[in-house]
Amino acid sequence: MSNSTGELCAQNDTICTIREHQPAVIIVPTLLLLSTLVTLVPLFILKYCGEQNRTRVRTPQQYQRSSHRHTQRKSHHSNNHHKNHNHRPHLSGIDAPPGINPLEHEELPMSVTHVQQNVGPTMAAVPQRSTERHLGAFSQVTTLPLTLFINDNDTVSFYRARMDNKDAVLRVLKESATSREKQQFLGFASFVSGLGPHPFIPALLGVISAQSPLVMVVEELQHRDLLGFLWRCRQDNSSSQSSCDMTEKRIFTMAAQVASALDYLHSQSCIHGNVGARSVLIGGDLTAKLWGFGPAYRRRSQAGLPGEVEAVEMKKWQAPEVLAMRPVTKSSDVWSFGILIYEMVTLGDPPFPQLMATELLQHLQRGNHLSQPPTCPKPLYSIIRSCCHFNTKNRLSTSELIRTLHAGEKSANGRTVIRVTEPFIFEKYLREAGYGEAYSYAVL
């Protein structure tokens, strides 16, 4: 052999030849393989650990997106469960047979802390946090008879029901309501919720807004509106003690409760604008609670829009400055409160019965005022006059009114029952109150 290997090894010595070429055919490839592994292993480790870190550590935006996807999947599963669970025909309104609850899983409790004061009549104003109720939340659902006739085109119906062992009134928007009426309905619910809880304001128990029909759930007060309660007291001529017995002391007590609610509303920058016996609800223990917030809501939601939102309200309960087309104020609420006491001491008589509503402003401008009814004790009449001064600066504030009522309650007569011998005639009341044949009102 002419090569170097041949010079060292015999021509047929294979073992010698392999030994001579060992560095080239074994050691060098092995070193190359090891160096490749040394290079690849760290790269693989770095890549694997990086993937793990990205899996464990997410930005807040990534977490929110992930949570949102999870919530959607959970909601979809829950909705499918409810659809499969509720195999029953469509029920119009809430006129379901006893034992069937068409409103389950749809309650949206109104959270005061999540509702702004100055909300517009938009569906977004109602909190969207849903909580599921137990089955049978509404039971004993029956139509609630109204005190006065409601126009046929009214979009709201009323029902009585039981919920969580409490009596409740269901204020139901009819399914034929327009989108604007739905927005107003939910806007009013949010407005009432935003007022917050108060012992002398009916409690808003919840709102059903997830599906039609839309419903407001309000606590029911056993004796309903004060005006109807006073009329029943007038017709109760029995000499025995009854829940309808109105005494001077009871009037002081009820009036102080309404004044407390009114003072609270004023502290919330809310002018009621509709104070009267028709807007006060009476509980089974004769606790008085102020309601009738429709005008206050319309005034706030229609702020800045043309037109008089007070035009449809009762003129004979309004202060002279409101009759003169000026805005309602805290002081005008105090005037109406004086008229409320007049209603209580007369067991439901309207104010200024001898006048037409169109004549009232001129009558007051001439210096005339409410005369003292035969059934009105002097302390209560003094409060009426203090509330119904023509000059707004001379009227009591709500805080002064509360102090005066509490002081008078201590010495008031709690034994002598107020009696009105004149029978109650509904048509006569409508005429003297200035309602007009087409006008009506709802308790809730």
pLDDT, tens digit only, all 444 positions of the chain: 444 444 566 666 766 766 666 666 667 677 777 777 777 777 777 766 655 544 343 433 343 444 444 444 444 444 444 444 444 333 333 333 333 333 333 334 443 333 333 333 333 334 433 333 333 466 777 777 665 443 444 788 888 888 888 889 988 898 888 999 999 999 999 999 999 899 999 999 888 887 778 888 999 998 989 999 999 998 765 544 557 789 999 999 999 999 999 999 999 999 999 999 999 999 999 999 999 998 899 888 876 544 443 444 589 999 999 999 999 999 999 999 999 999 999 999 999 999 998 899 999 999 999 999 999 999 999 999 999 999 999 999 999 999 999 999 999 999 999 999 888 898 899 889 987 633 444 444
pTM of the model: 0.68
Tell me, yes or no, whether 299 and 393 share the same domain. Answer: yes
The terminus-to-terminus CA distance of the chain in angstroms comes to 120
Q: What is the DSSP string of 242-292?
A: -TT--BHHHHHHHHHHHHHHHHHHHHTT------SGGGEEE-TT--EEE--
Quote the tokens at residue 311: 């035009």
> Would you state the pLDDT for residue 8?
61
Please say which residue of 31, 46, 61 terminates a domain: 46
> Would you state the pLDDT for residue 137?
65
Tell me, yes or no, whether 191 and 249 share the same domain. Answer: no
> Would you state the pLDDT for residue 238?
52
Domain extent, residue 353, equals: 224-433
Supply the CATH number for residue 259's domain: 1.10.510.10
Tell me, yes or no, whether 127 and 250 share the same domain. Answer: no
Tell me, yes or no, whether 210 and 249 share the same domain. Answer: no
* DSSP assignment letter at 109: -
Q: How many domains does the chain have?
A: 3
Spatial separation of the C-alpha atoms in residues 398 and 206, rounded to whole Å: 30
Tell me, yes or no, whether 336 and 306 share the same domain. Answer: yes
> Would you state the pLDDT for residue 320?
96
**Is residue 62 a part of any domain in this protein?**
no
> Would you state the pLDDT for residue 239?
46
Q: If 0-12 CB within 10 Å is exposed, 13-18 middle and 19+ buried, where does residue 222 land?
A: middle
Tell me, yes or no, whether 237 and 171 share the same domain. Answer: no
Tell me, yes or no, whether 213 and 228 share the same domain. Answer: no
Please say which residue of 181, 198, 219 terminates a domain: 219
Tell me, yes or no, whether 149 and 290 share the same domain. Answer: no
**Is residue 379 a part of any domain in this protein?**
yes
Q: 265: how many CB neighbours lie within 10 A of its CB?
A: 23
Phi, psi of 232 (to 5 degrees): -65, -35
CB 110 within 8 A of CB 126: yes
CB 274 within 8 A of CB 295: yes
**Is residue 232 a part of any domain in this protein?**
yes
> Would you state the pLDDT for residue 78?
44
Residue of 312, 389, 395, 317 whose CA lies nearest to 352: 317
